[in-house]
Structure 1
Amino acid sequence: MIEIYYVEDDVDISCAVKEFLGQQGYKVSVFSTVASAKEALASMCPTLVLVDWNMPDGSGKLLVQWIRLKWKELPVIFLTVRGDSCDIVSGFENGADDYIVKPFELEVLLSHIKALLRRTGDASRQYLSCGSLSIDLKKMSVYNGTEEIGLSPSEYQLLLYLLQNKGKTITRRKLLEEIWDSCGNYVNDNTLTVTMKRLREKLHQPVCLKTVRSVGYRMEEPE
């Protein structure tokens, strides 16, 4: 299902948009502040983001700049009143893909969403994340927040496998089999311990990477 994050503080507009797009088969999550949108984005990348230009706790333009630091190909549409048209050009320079002027017809919004997704595809599948950690699968790049982290091949594969199985406890034996034995490189149990220690150090001891004592490890969103 296509998941849309809608950053909008006008309850009437957001409810109308959510109901209409829901009827078209889209899942819409509404965020009334920039802060709440950032919190949600930090844990999951949606298919597309709708951003109101003016928010009570910050500018939509600044939110899009923040998004582009982590998800350069995530489709973004600005929703703005006509008086902000001069600023929209600046907004495009900072990463927005399209804009719609308020008030707008819901069918017009839908047509813009469909057109943009035809151009971009579902970019959300390109990203995996948990807490402040994220992987760009296309570029094989790893980030902690906006900081890019350099990992060895085995460290990258270890993090990737845990993120692909987020929420599940993966045994040490399973990790050894999947990451090393599958490549024909048999290693002992200590190799996993050393690799995990180095991975945690490089990622600045992330709270989302849990140790399940005497069993293995689990990626889990922080509370």
Structure 2
Amino acid sequence: MKHILLVEDDREISRNLALLLQGEGYAVSAAATQAQAIALAAAQRFDLALIDLNLPDGSGYAVCTALQQTQGVPVIFLTASGDEASVVTGLNMGAVDYITKPFRPRELVARIQAALRRTGRAPQVFSHGVLTVDTDSGLVKISGREVPLSALEYRLLLVFVNNPNGIITRDRLLDELWDAAGEFVTNNALTVYIKRLREKLGDDPAAPRLILTVRGTGYRLGDGHAAE
């Protein structure tokens, strides 16, 4: 499990971000001040840091410097300002990205995943039961057999791959597919996409073992070995 340091002094924003990231399968340690963040950086190992530029006792720059000196983890700055000079300073200090508040939660998660991939801190091959996905090549296999998917089907599968232990609501899937397709995706279309994905993965729609239905909620990923 990847460990993220979240440095944000607004309690509500920090709480909501922590819940979002935990729901994506990340471990999160939160700090509200520069001093707390630097202390955490000295005591724990992290895979990535999200750092607010403006902290009550100083600047996010100092936290970034401490992390670069001790751990070399990728840093994404959170800023309420579009001030170009602040952004350039952060990037020159070694930050890999920045995102301006307010931001879309899905955009932040995508930025985090991209940063982890670029720095080699994200696994390139995902294995879960009979399913294997190579996110570098886009190759999908079931029990060693290659499965060709359309771009939208692959995007749908990646939602499950990125959330292997969680329940994914239909609304969440609709949002993801809308972002990927660039057009509105209806509930009926989602049902069709789920059916097609199951069929291509060799998953019996009448008794699925890989893309499982959670009645009244959404779906979750199974291991494909036995009915649950």
Classify the TM-score, shorter chain: 0.5 to 0.7
Q: Displacement of 1:82 after TM fit?
A: 2.6
4+ runs deviating over 3 angstroms: none
Mark the runs of 5 or more structure 2 residues left unpaired by the alignment.
123-228
Q: Displacement of 1:6 after TM fit?
A: 0.2
SS in 2 for 1:9: coil
Partner of 2:111: 112
Q: Superposition pairs for residues 52-201 of structure 1, below 5 Å? A: 52-72=52-72, 74-122=73-121
TM (normalized to structure 2)? 0.51
Partner of 1:193: none
One-letter identity of the residue aligned with 2:25:
G
Number of matched pairs: 122
Q: Displacement of 1:42 after TM fit?
A: 0.6
Q: Displacement of 1:85 after TM fit?
A: 3.0
Partner of 1:40: 40
One-letter identity of the residue aligned with 2:99:
I
Q: Displacement of 1:66 after TM fit?
A: 2.3
Q: Superposition pairs for residues 18-33 of structure 1, below 5 Å? A: 18-33=18-33
Q: Displacement of 1:35 after TM fit?
A: 0.7
Instruction: Please tell me the root mean square deviation across aligned C-alpha atoms, in Å.
Output: 1.4
Mark the runs of 5 or more structure 1 residues left unpaired by the alignment.
124-223
1:66-119 residue CA offsets vs partner (Å, 9 max, x unmatched)? 2222223x1100000134332110111111110000011111100000011111
Q: How far apart, in 1, do the equivalents of 2:81 and 2:32 lie? A: 21
CA change 1:12–1:85 in 2 (3 A) is farther
Q: How far apart, in 1, do the equivalents of 2:28 and 2:83 lie? A: 25
Q: How far apart, in 2, do the equivalents of 1:68 and 1:104 lie? A: 25
SS in 2 for 1:90: helix
Higher helix share: 1
Q: How far apart, in 1, do the equivalents of 2:59 and 2:83 lie? A: 12
Q: How far apart, in 2, do the equivalents of 1:36 and 1:120 lie? A: 25
Partner of 1:155: none
Q: How far apart, in 1, do the equivalents of 2:23 and 2:90 lie? A: 30
Q: How far apart, in 2, do the equivalents of 1:83 and 1:56 lie? A: 19
Q: How far apart, in 2, do the equivalents of 1:52 and 1:66 lie? A: 15
Partner of 1:50: 50
Q: How far apart, in 2, do the equivalents of 1:110 and 1:58 lie? A: 26
Percent identical among aligned pairs is 43
Contact 2:34-2:62 at 8 Å conserved across structures: no
Q: Displacement of 1:62 after TM fit?
A: 2.1
SS in 1 for 2:111: helix
Q: How far apart, in 2, do the equivalents of 1:66 and 1:27 lie? A: 20
Partner of 1:148: none
Q: How far apart, in 2, do the equivalents of 1:46 and 1:20 lie? A: 18
Q: How far apart, in 2, do the equivalents of 1:67 and 1:116 lie? A: 15
Contact 2:41-2:66 at 8 Å conserved across structures: no
